[in-house]
Amino acid sequence: MFSVPVQTLVPAVIGMGTSGDIGIDMRRSVPVLTEPMSVESMLANVIQPLSLLKWMESDGEGGFVQAGQGYLVVRQSYQGQFQIAGILKGLERVLDAKGQLKSTPIRRIGYPYEEDAAILASLAKTKNLEIADDQDLKTALQQIGAEAGFRVLIDAPSLADEGISTDQAVKCHFIKLPLEICLKKLLEPLRLTHVVDEGVLVITTVARADEMMSIRVYDIGNCNKIPNYLSQTGLLHTLVELTSGKWLQAEGEGGEAALISSKHLLVLQSQRVHSEIEFLIEELSTEKTAPPAKPPLKLRIHTAPDTETATDLLEALPRLLEKDWVAHGSINQAGKSLLINQTLRVHDQVEDIMIALEISRRKQYPISYPPVNPPNANPPVAK
Spatial contact of 305 and 357, defined as CB atoms under 8 Å apart: yes
Q: For residue 194, list its beta bridge partners.
A: 203
Determine the CATH number of domain 298-363: 3.30.1370
Average pLDDT, the chain: 77
DSSP conformational letter for 221:
T
pTM: 0.61
The residues near 89 (Cβ < 8 Å, ≥ 6 apart) are 109
Residue 374 pLDDT: 54
Q: For residue 115, list its beta bridge partners.
A: none
Spatial contact of 270 and 213, defined as CB atoms under 8 Å apart: yes
Spatial contact of 14 and 46, defined as CB atoms under 8 Å apart: yes
Spatial contact of 232 and 13, defined as CB atoms under 8 Å apart: yes
Q: Is 67 left (phi over 0), alpha (psi -120 to 50) or beta?
A: beta
Q: How many residues does the chain have?
A: 383
| Coil/strand/helix, residue 356 | helix
Residue 97 pLDDT: 65
Residue 9 pLDDT: 41
Residue 376 pLDDT: 56
Q: Which amino acid is at 38?
A: S
| Coil/strand/helix, residue 332 | strand
* DSSP element (H, E) containing 178: strand 169-178
| Domain coordinates in residue numbering, the chain | 2-111+210-284, 115-197, 298-363
- Tens of pLDDT, residue by residue, the chain (383 residues): 666 654 444 333 333 333 333 233 333 333 333 344 566 666 666 676 666 678 787 778 888 887 777 777 888 888 788 877 877 777 777 766 665 567 788 887 788 889 999 999 999 999 888 888 778 999 999 999 999 999 999 999 999 999 999 888 888 888 888 999 999 999 999 999 999 999 999 999 999 999 998 888 888 877 766 655 455 566 777 788 888 888 877 777 888 887 777 777 888 899 999 999 888 888 877 655 556 667 788 889 999 888 988 999 998 999 889 888 988 889 998 888 999 999 999 999 999 898 888 888 777 766 554 555 555 555 555 55
| Coil/strand/helix, residue 153 | strand
Spatial contact of 99 and 285, defined as CB atoms under 8 Å apart: no
Residue 28 pLDDT: 36
Residue 3 pLDDT: 65
* DSSP element (H, E) containing 370: none
CA pair distance 151, 199, nearest whole angstrom: 8
CA pair distance 279, 382, nearest whole angstrom: 106
Residue 132 pLDDT: 80
The CA R_g of the chain, rounded to the nearest whole Å, is 36
